[in-house]
A and B are shown apart, each in its own frame.
Chain A
């Protein structure tokens, strides 16, 4: 399958946006997963629900909320611009932020399952051997939940690759900046005579997404047995 330079550029942009989205979300998702899995506090159910919100909310609503909060006139957006000179609307970083928010619930889910699978009694054993709470977390919980972190990252990556609604709402559809694979396919469909290009991009999207899903499922099964799953 021969791709044009413009199509390669779309794929490269998609991979970059998704990679940055996953890196942005990784520490936040793990912290949330740990809180929900291991702590009991008032408002835990609300936090759990809020984390899962992007999964069920219309993506266009998520994009609109991002626009309100992170747009140039938004409370966080105007602060980012004043303090760091960073704007998120209409550029690839904005596309990454939109993808990150949409990927968050899936990543938290995978990581939470793997943290819950870590035997808490091992943490107790570490404490009696002289480990502080933090030391026990770093030496026991973190390494034992590593497969879940990797699986969650792959899932988040797959989700980011497919992100459309929040991205087009928040970051718009700008070639070379925010026109990732799904947006390029959508744009291709708007103009007659692009059927071949659309088909090529769609096949790429399927291959990338399937690959990411299979890798994440394989990571979890390899470490937690054939009956464990992340999906």
Chain B
């Protein structure tokens, strides 16, 4: 089972529930905006503590309220690609890439910096500051940074949103390659079923 999630969250006054179980290499979580999809990703990554439930990824228990298991974000090893990328503004692209790579244990790494840079075609961006990147470039760098942190799984939050059709198509092909070539389960959040039809082996609707 790549993802086995059953969660009850409290965000402000709002109660959000989500249950999904998937064997697919790429699972899509789809629903209208504001339904709480990002909160689910935050809970899976450990940034948001659920009220109750459990999160199991590739048979590793990350959270289980019944057994009082709640791993810290840094030990969950989520490759979380935020919708707003969250590149560190005071570091060049190269330092952003190195951030998670340096923190990962050597034994956990499963991809080299060279492979990631080639796959995402960001070799020309290494010396740039995040503020100078286009939307598509920012997202590619964010994906690369996540891959280099030796993640157990990837969380992609609206990776194709607010890109023009050509850039969205290019990124979509990239995600397909990551899905097919790398042995890392992916949970992708999107507001549109159409967008994920081609990518997802399993679609979960929320809300």
Which residues does chain B contribute within 8 Å of A130, judged by CB atoms? 74, 77, 100, 103-104, 149-150
* Chain B, Cβ-Cβ closest to A127: B73
Roughly how many angstroms separate A132 CA and B76 CA in the complex, as a whole number? 12
B89 at the interface (CB under 8 A from A): yes
Which A residues are CB-close (under 8 A) to B46? 127-128
Contact between chains at A127 and B74 (CB < 8 Å): yes
Interface string of A122-138 (1 = CB under 8 A from B): 10111111111001000
Q: Tell me whether B89 and A144 are in contact (CB under 8 A).
A: yes
| Cβ–Cβ < 8 Å partners of A132 in chain B | 72, 74
- Residues of A near B99 (CB, < 8 A) are 126, 129, 131, 139
On chain B, the residues within 8 Å of A131 by CB distance are 74, 99, 103
Q: Is A140 interfacial (CB 8 A cutoff)? A: yes
For the complex of A and B, the 8 pairs showing the least CB-CB separation, nearest first, are A129-B100, A130-B103, A127-B73, A125-B86, A128-B80, A129-B149, A124-B47, A130-B74
Task: Determine if A211 is an interface residue (Cβ-Cβ < 8 Å).
Answer: no
- From A125, A128, A140, A143, name the one whose CB has the most chain B CB atoms within 10 angstroms: A128
Q: Is the interface of A mostly helix, strand, loop or mixed?
A: helix
CB-CB nearest in chain A for B108: A130
List the A side residues contacting B73 at CB < 8 Å. 124, 127-128
CA distance in complex: A126, B87 (Å): 9
Complex Cα spacing A131 to B103, Å: 7
Taken residue by residue from 78 to 100, chain B's Cβ proximity to chain A (1 for < 8 Å, 0 otherwise) reads as 11101010101110000000011
Please tell me if B190 contacts chain A, counting CB pairs below 8 Å.
Answer: no
| Complex: A182 Cα to B81 Cα, angstroms | 56
Q: Is B22 in the interface zone, CB < 8 Å from A? A: no
A144 to B80, CA, bound (A): 22
Q: How far is the CA of A206 from the CA of B188 in the complex (A)?
A: 60
A121 at the interface (CB under 8 A from B): yes
